[in-house]
């Protein structure tokens, strides 16, 4: 799955060690944040790069405006 742009809910749940319903909740919240920046989102999927930024801090907060 390393070459894919989006993560599906099952992959998010597995990576974080949470249930699938909770992973859906997290994805909805992250997608809402992306929508506020003008991005188009897909239900049940999250941009892999954004996911890693949010959970592993791979980008400074001031680099993305919300």
- Output the pLDDT for position 57: 82
- The answer to whether the CB of 44 falls within 8 A of the CB of 4 is no
- Output the pLDDT for position 1: 47
- The answer to whether the CB of 11 falls within 8 A of the CB of 1 is yes
- Output the pLDDT for position 66: 47
Place of tokens 């999927």: 45
- Output the pLDDT for position 58: 65
Tell me: the pLDDT tens digits for 9-60? 999 999 999 999 999 999 999 999 999 999 999 999 999 999 999 988 865 5
Separation between Cα atoms, residue 39 and residue 33, nearest integer Å: 9
Both structure tokens of 27: 């994805």
Separation between Cα atoms, residue 66 and residue 34, nearest integer Å: 8
Does the global pTM surpass 0.85?
Answer: no
């Amino acid at each position: 799955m390393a070459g894919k742009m989006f993560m599906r809910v099952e992959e998010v749940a597995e990576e974080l060690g949470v249930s699938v319903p909770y992973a859906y909740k997290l994805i909805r919240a992250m997608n809402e944040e992306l929508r506020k920046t003008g991005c188009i989102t897909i239900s049940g999927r999250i941009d892999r790069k954004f996911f890693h930024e949010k959970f592993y801090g791979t980008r400074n907060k001031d680099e993305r405006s919300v």
